[in-house]
Amino acid sequence: MEDKEIIDLYFARAESAIAKTRDKYSRYIKKIAYNVLRVAEEAEECENDTYFKAWNTIPPERPAIFSAYLGRISRNLALDMWRSNHADKRGNGEVPALIDELEECLEGDEMPENKALNDELTEILNSFLGKIKENDRNFFVRRYFYGETVSEVAKFYKSSESRVKMSLKRTRDKLRERLEREGYYYG
């Protein structure tokens, strides 16, 4: 079933929308959550929460890219769950590493909490990613959006881990320079 048809089911408030979404995107949603949480049961909980959130947000939203919409919901729910589970400790999973790696680009006394600033940062990041080499962008998105390990990214692209690490480092450096120019880096 095409994404547009599934979204139309949500707009019609047909419960089959969730079943059709599960049939098409279950593995994708669960993989994103698992990459953050590293616990299968928690990833399954995020998957179910993703369907619930999609049900509650469609309508009024009509996602242009349904898979990306579901991926964003799953990732955000997984990050919230991870934060809740690790409120008093840093843990040994990938999330602390991801946060540490990106903190060098977003250092400062406070992260922007204002929605307008977050929207502006999102626009800057999207613009930045649209202008870098496709390979670098793919490495960056798989590492920092999907939460894959460096070795998983390297394996997927049949590349060496050192090449992926170097690409990620250079991309973070370029992102930091861009954020400095835009007035968002205070390191």
Average pLDDT over residues 29-34: 94
In a domain, 67, yes or no: yes
Same domain, 98 and 177: yes
**Do 67 and 145 form a contact (C-beta atoms < 8 A)?**
no
The total number of structural domains in the chain stands at: 2
Q: How many helices (H) and strands (E) does the chain have?
A: 9, 0
Percent of the chain with pLDDT over 70: 81
**Do 26 and 43 form a contact (C-beta atoms < 8 A)?**
no
Same domain, 12 and 67: yes
**Distance separating alpha carbons of residues 176 and 186, to the nearest angstrom:** 10
What torsion do the CA atoms of 137, 36, 22, 152 make, to the nearest 10 degrees?
A: 50
**Distance separating alpha carbons of residues 71 and 84, to the nearest angstrom:** 20
What is the model's pTM? 0.66
Same domain, 102 and 175: yes
Please report the pLDDT score of residue 144 as a whole number.
87
pLDDT single digits (tens) 134-172 = 999 999 988 988 888 999 999 999 999 999 999 999 999
Same domain, 165 and 148: yes
**Distance separating alpha carbons of residues 144 and 129, to the nearest angstrom:** 12
CATH number of the domain encompassing residue 21: 1.10.1740.10
Same domain, 60 and 127: no
Same domain, 63 and 105: no
Tokens (6 digits) for 170: 């250079």
Last residue of a domain, one of 68, 85, 102: 85
Coil, helix or strand for 68? helix
Last residue of a domain, one of 50, 85, 120: 85
**Distance separating alpha carbons of residues 43 and 158, to the nearest angstrom:** 27
DSSP H or E stretch at residue 24 = helix 16-37
Coil, helix or strand for 100? helix
pLDDT single digits (tens) 38-65 = 899 999 999 999 999 999 999 999 999 9
Same domain, 99 and 177: yes
pLDDT single digits (tens) 178-187 = 888 887 765 5
In a domain, 174, yes or no: yes
Same domain, 160 and 128: yes
Closest CA to 96 of 84, 83, 105, 107: 83
Last residue of a domain, one of 85, 102, 130: 85
Domain that holds residue 105: 94-181
Same domain, 74 and 11: yes
